[in-house]
Amino acid sequence: MLALRESALHVLLATLAAGPFTGWRALPGGRVQAGETLDDAAARELTAHSGLANLHLEQLYTFGSPERDPRGHVVSVAYLGLTPPRAATDPGPAGKYTALEWHPVAALPRLAYDHGAVVGIAAARLQAKLRYTNLAHALLDDTFTLADLQSVYETVLGRTLDRRNFRKKILALGWLRPLDRKRRGPHRPASLYAFRDRSPREVDVLR
Amino acid sequence: MLALRESALHVLLATLAAGPFTGWRALPGGRVQAGETLDDAAARELTAHSGLANLHLEQLYTFGSPERDPRGHVVSVAYLGLTPPRAATDPGPAGKYTALEWHPVAALPRLAYDHGAVVGIAAARLQAKLRYTNLAHALLDDTFTLADLQSVYETVLGRTLDRRNFRKKILALGWLRPLDRKRRGPHRPASLYAFRDRSPREVDVLR
DNA sequence: CCAAAAGTGTTTGCTCTACACCCATGG
DNA sequence: CCATGGGTGTAGAGCAAACACTTTTGG
């Protein structure tokens, strides 16, 4: 589960209460139940642990090296989840974990199993898909300013973008619907926007 | 396993000798063995059935719908394999299959399980990666002409490309090493090329 | 000498990039 | 009125697309 908090990429980590890595941090997860789709299992596990629901979840990669779990040969199907800011608060302890907390990806503790590598692959996938899809919607609340949206791109891509060029390009894509509302604040109010459509769209680029 | 034969995308299909889909066509595969990586298992199965070895193999997607196999809940990790023309001959019957044959993807028979969908996802992945990686090397023999290479792109992308622009762009990438040999034929001989490096490279494009 | 594929440059339009100033609001 | 972030246009460069003729060989 990835989210942006204070302009930094964060990942939701669990503290393990049992097993060979007791006390270590790891990605939350669980087993597929009989008669259940992999997608369903990922959504069920996520909701059970964190209360988060209805978020973007997509299959990431399947890990099956025999030595990844000291207890035996386990195959794990990793999922990439994305959370908008309003849902990205620490859920606290739940079920089999003694804690569930957001950690900045740039400064992670050592993770149990091969989960450190999993986070790296997830971040790379997010960065790649942001370049050619409308996936940014999954990291934003329903309404947002263009500055918010630009911040998503800048944080994930790891560099700054020219504000005028960004606005031109992103508006030309036609993905956004301008709202009649403004976000008030200490300075000039910013126009609010929403995505017209959250279903996947591909494009030729935001470099 | 995908390959290009006579300028058409083909897939290697097995004819099942047992099970609920006896006589149907399906993608060749098998079970992971104890102590074995998923990648290793894919390579082992491929070699065992077809004698093909040392080819491009990458994880494609993991399928786990409970209803995909009538015998029970099976999770399959699908791999995308690519074969150069010289290896893409029908391997004939082997092991648990009564036949192993290349079929054009454009006119497939009905496949067992959900394998029809798997082939569709594989073709889409191939098309996407051809656009931004040097993956074409896996579909070509060691030496080839620029016309051969252009044909790979045209076949997989499904449209024709301007010969002059194609040559300019592909040579500008620096991926190719010109050889001192020519391919003789009924017409003007064509210069032969090889890939300098078959390790994965990404680029901004061949549209 | 004919058929067929190989080989090669230039022009045009478009897209991306770089860049600076005024505006609206809260405090 | 001041500080701060919001909002906007244009000019130049680089890239992609369109396009036709000559060359080389085998038969």
Q: What is the pLDDT of residues B160-172, one digit of tens each?
A: 999 999 999 999 9
For residue B204, is pLDDT > 70?
no
Which nucleotides on strand D sit less than 7 A from a protein beta carbon? 3-10, 16-20, 23-27
Q: What kind and span of H or E run contains A27?
A: none
User: Is any Cβ of chain B less than 8 angstroms from the Cβ of A72?
Assistant: no
Which positions of chain A have pLDDT values less than 70? 204-207
Out of A87-91, B136-140, B191-195, pick the least confident.
Answer: A87-91
Q: Is A149 exposed, middle or buried (0-12, 13-18, 19+ CB in 10 A)?
A: buried
A139 CB and strand D closer than 7 A: no
Extract long-range pairs of B54-59: CB within 8 Å, 24+ residues apart. Answer: B55/B1, B55/B81, B55/B82, B55/B83, B55/B84, B55/B87, B55/B138, B56/B81, B56/B82, B56/B135, B56/B138, B57/B81, B59/A61, B59/A62
Nearest to B62 among A34, A36, A62 (CB): A62
Nearest to A73 among B34, B62, B75 (CB): B34
Q: Do A61 and B59 touch (CB under 8 A)?
A: yes
Which residues of A fall within a CB distance of 8 Å from B64?
32, 37-38, 41, 77
Q: What is the pLDDT of residues A88-112, one digit of tens each?
A: 998 887 778 999 999 999 999 999 9
Residue-level pLDDT at A92: 80
pTM: 0.94
- Tell which residue, A77, A60, A84, A63, has the closest CA to residue A10: A84
Q: Do B77 and A75 touch (CB under 8 A)?
A: yes
Mean pLDDT, rounded, for B57-64: 98
